[in-house]
Amino acid sequence: MTTLLVGGTGKTGSLLAKLIHTAGHTFLIASRLGVAPEPFKAIKFDWTDSATFENPFKADPNIDRVYLITPSVTEVLTIVKPFVDLAISKGVKRFVLLSGSQTEPGSPFIGKLHEYIVQLGVDYTVLRPTWFIENFGTMFYHSIRENNEIFSVTQSGRIPFIGADDIAKAAFDALFSEKSPNKDYYLAGPGLYSYDEVAALLSDVLGRKITHKHLTNEEEQALFQSFGVSKEHAAMLTGREARIDDGVEEAIVGTNKTITGTRTLRQFVEDNKQMWIK
C-alpha cells in the first residue's frame, strides 16, 4: 500500500519522506509544483485548485494513508474537507494531521478539521507540536544575522521548542504503527526556554550579543503580515504567542499525551551557526 504526503516537500514532510524511504515503504509526495527531490516521486497538488485533488489517486490507486499539512487559511475545513471525503472514497483508512499545541478540536482554523476527522470514524492521529526550533533559521534568520535580535510578545513565558525531525519521527510512527492511536498528542522538545534565554543561548554559541526585543501585539501582527501572513492568521499567531506568558506551552511538558523529542535548541544552533554569521 502507499502513503500520500500532502506537503511532502515542507519542513516536516521532507524529513518524513526520508524516513519512509529508508524504511522501504511506498509513498507519493503531493506538492504544488508536482516536483520533489530525487529519487522521490511527486504529483501536482494545489489546495487552491480542487481539480488537482484526484491527481494522487490517479497516479497510485493503492493510497491507504495520508500525512496532511493544511493550507494557511482561515477556513481550513471548507478547503480540506472535500479532499478528505474524496480520499476516504478512494480507500484511505488512516490520516495523520499536523496541527498545533494550542489548537483544540473544534477551535478555529485546523481545529475544525481535527474535529471533523475524529467524527468520521477512520483511523487518525493529530500531532500538536509546540513552536518549531527551525523558526530561528527562517522567521528569525534575518533579524539574528543582520540586527542581532529576536522578537516576541511572550515576555518571560517558556517554550519546549520542538525540532522538525522529531515531528517527522512522530508522524512516521503514527502512520505505520500496527494499531492506530486514534488520539491527539502534544509534541515537545527536551528543554524549556524563554525568548530571553534563547537570546542568551544564541549569544553564547555565536560569540556576540543577541537580544530579545519585546513587541506589542500590534507590532507583532504587523511584522507577521510583512512576511506575507494574512491579517487573520497574523492575529491568531500573535494571540497564541501572547498566551505563552500564561504558561500554556510549559503546561504540555510531561503530560500523558505528550511525545518528547530528543533534538535540543542548542544542538540546532551549534549545527547551523554559520547561517547567522556574515
How confident is the model at residue 158, as a pLDDT? 97
How confident is the model at residue 41, as a pLDDT? 93
pLDDT tens digits, 247-262:
999 999 999 999 999 9
8 Å CB contact between 122 and 93: yes
Residue 264 grid cell: 535540543
Pure H helices in the chain: 11-23, 55-59, 76-89, 110-120, 141-147, 164-176, 195-206, 217-226, 231-242, 265-272
How confident is the model at residue 74, as a pLDDT? 85
How confident is the model at residue 68, as a pLDDT? 98
> Which domains, from first to last, does the chain contain?
2-131+162-188 (3.40.50.720), 135-158+190-251+262-276 (3.90.25.10)
How confident is the model at residue 73, as a pLDDT? 87
- What is the rounded distance in angstroms from the CA atom of residue 4 to the CA atom of residue 98? 14
Intervals of the chain under pLDDT 70: none
Residue 245 grid cell: 506568558
pLDDT tens digits, 128-170:
999 999 999 998 999 999 999 999 999 899 999 999 999 999 9
How confident is the model at residue 117, as a pLDDT? 98
- What is the rounded distance in angstroms from the CA atom of residue 171 to the CA atom of residue 158? 25
How confident is the model at residue 105, as a pLDDT? 96
Query: What's the whole-number average pLDDT of the chain?
Result: 95
How confident is the model at residue 140, as a pLDDT? 94
How confident is the model at residue 86, as a pLDDT? 98
36, 103, 225, 240 from 32: Cα distances, Å:
10, 25, 22, 28
Q: pTM for this structure? A: 0.95
How confident is the model at residue 234, as a pLDDT? 85
